Amino acid sequence: MIATIQQHEISGETIIPLDDGYVLIASKSRPGAWYQIHDGECSCPGFHYRGRCRHIAAVIQAQQTPCFRCGALTEPSVSGAPALCGPCSLALTGLDD
């Protein structure tokens, strides 16, 4: 059996989504090393020291999609409709007055 692993490049970060919400992200400072991200936590030393890291930011960006109207990054649509950011959604419904 051959497994295919989908690898993505987001903002210069190499990301591999795995099952059950786990994500692997390549280290830039340690070539060949990979960090595991799950439930908003990263296994990198920076996250353990500061409580945040660029790996988490890259994964959040990878999970966003451009707004259909203005192109700003927003959450993907769960209904299958084109994704809209908050301001564009309000503008289209006329509630932004």
Please provide the DSSP assignment of 8-63 as one string: EEETTEEEEE-GGG-EEEE-SSSTT-EEEEETTEE-SHHHHHHS--HHHHHHHHHT
Kindly report, residue by residue over 20-38, the tens digit of the pLDDT. 888 899 998 898 999 999 9
Residue 17 has pLDDT above 80, yes or no: yes
CA distance 54 to 14: 12
List pLDDT tens digits, range 48-74. 999 999 888 888 777 777 888 888 877
Is pLDDT at 10 greater than 60 in this prediction? yes
The CA–CA distances, whole Å, from 36 to 6, 22, 64 equal: 16, 7, 19
Amino acid code (one letter) for 30: R
Per-residue pLDDT for 97 more than 60?
no
Q: Where are the domains of the chain?
A: 1-63, 64-97
